[in-house]
């Protein structure tokens, strides 16, 4: 949500805007997110920022995010936010049916760009 709207909701609920944890995540509609952050105290502003980051990610990047989060054993909201900016450092292989495409995807992930042939 927009910052003004978040501040309004926090005021209504009596949540002080601070850099310290100020809300509790009981569950989430996204089971994968619940697996990472359920039953944790977090900062609501950081949570809002992470969700905004998710809005800019495609389905494949979100899959990569959750896989990397599992591997890295991220525990904090700051770790998750940092991870969302570093997805280019990870490769996710979930289909071995086309090795040519798989190789290209892995190469692109590593190099981030490929010169086209003339």
- Reported as a single tens digit per residue, the pLDDT across 18-48 is 889 888 888 888 888 888 888 899 998 898 8
61 assigned to some structural domain: yes
41 assigned to some structural domain: yes
117 assigned to some structural domain: no
For residue 83, the model assigns a pLDDT of 94
Domain that holds residue 16: 3-90
For residue 82, the model assigns a pLDDT of 95
59 assigned to some structural domain: yes
96 assigned to some structural domain: no
16 assigned to some structural domain: yes
Assign 3-class secondary structure to the chain: CCHHHHHHHHHHHCCCCCCCCCEEECCCCCHHHHHHHCCEEECHHHHHHHHHHHHCCCHHHHHHHHHHHHHHCCCCHHHHHHHHHCHHHCCCCCCCCCHHHHHHHHHHHHHCCCCCCC
For residue 116, the model assigns a pLDDT of 63
Mean pLDDT for the chain?
83
- How many distinct structural domains can be found in the chain? 1
In this prediction, residue 14 has a pLDDT band, given cuts at 50, 70 and 90, of: confident
What confidence tens digit (pLDDT) does each residue in 84-110 have?
999 888 877 766 677 677 677 666 766
106 assigned to some structural domain: no
108 assigned to some structural domain: no
In this prediction, residue 115 has a pLDDT band, given cuts at 50, 70 and 90, of: low
């Amino acid at each position: 949500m927009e910052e003004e709207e978040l501040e309004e909701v926090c005021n209504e609920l009596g949540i002080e805007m601070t850099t310290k944890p100020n809300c509790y995540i009981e569950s989430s509609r996204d089971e994968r997110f619940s697996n990472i952050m359920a039953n944790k105290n977090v900062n609501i502003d950081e949570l809002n920022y992470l969700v905004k980051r998710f809005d800019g990610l495609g389905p494949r990047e979100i899959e990569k995010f959750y896989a990397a989060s599992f591997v890295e054993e991220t525990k904090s909201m700051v770790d998750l936010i940092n991870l969302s900016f570093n997805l280019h450092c990870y490769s996710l292989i979930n289909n071995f049916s086309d090795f040519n495409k798989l190789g290209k995807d892995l190469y692109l992930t590593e190099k981030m760009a490929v010169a086209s042939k003339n």
